Homo-oligomer: A and B are copies of this chain.
Amino acid sequence: MTREEKFQTATTELGHSFEGEIKIGGNYTSVVRHGDVVYVSGQIPRVGNTVMVMGRVGRAVGQTSLAQAKVAAEICAMRALALLRQQSGGLDAVTQILRVTVYVQAAEDFTQLSEVGDAASKVFYAVLGEAGVHTRTSVGVFQLPKNASVELDLIAAVSAKV
């Protein structure tokens, strides 16, 4: 399968579309390229205008579950890939994901942050193969924009502009 096909497969599995321009407000932007390095802004698990997974991740009643947080991480990863694809003229331009940071809105005693990060890492590897293998930092934070359960940003290397 091509990376594009793998991206579509991952899209289908998640049941959300990541087509179309991803827009953000403010005096910043979602992707900046410098030489062959691309920076992607922090992504929350938003599809269109809806944040799909919100709330604090933990084991207590009323908290967001680990399973839900993993879905959130997958959506964040797909959004980041969609931005890379959009910026670089296709996923084949991505030569390596260099650094991924995964922020989880965690409960006080929720320590499975790497498990949440793993869900994102799995997406990058599924779509990009070896080019998707990255360094990663997963931390549990106190809040995230719009009460999102997960936020993810990344730095990637891309090939010269076609």
Q: Residues on A close to B: CB < 8 A?
A: 25-32, 34, 37, 39-42, 96-101, 103-104, 106-114, 117-118, 121-122, 124-125, 132-147, 151, 153, 155, 157
- Decide: A135 near B26, CB < 8 A? Known: A109-B143, A111-B143, A143-B106: no
Q: Are B100 and A28 touching (Cβ within 8 A)?
A: yes
Contact A96 B32 (CB under 8 A): yes
A158–chain B nearest beta-carbon distance, Å: 11
Are A111's CB and B26's CB within 8 A? no
A140 touches which of B34, B40, B143, B155 (Cβ 8 Å): B143
Residues of B within 8 A of A145 (CB): 111-114, 138-139
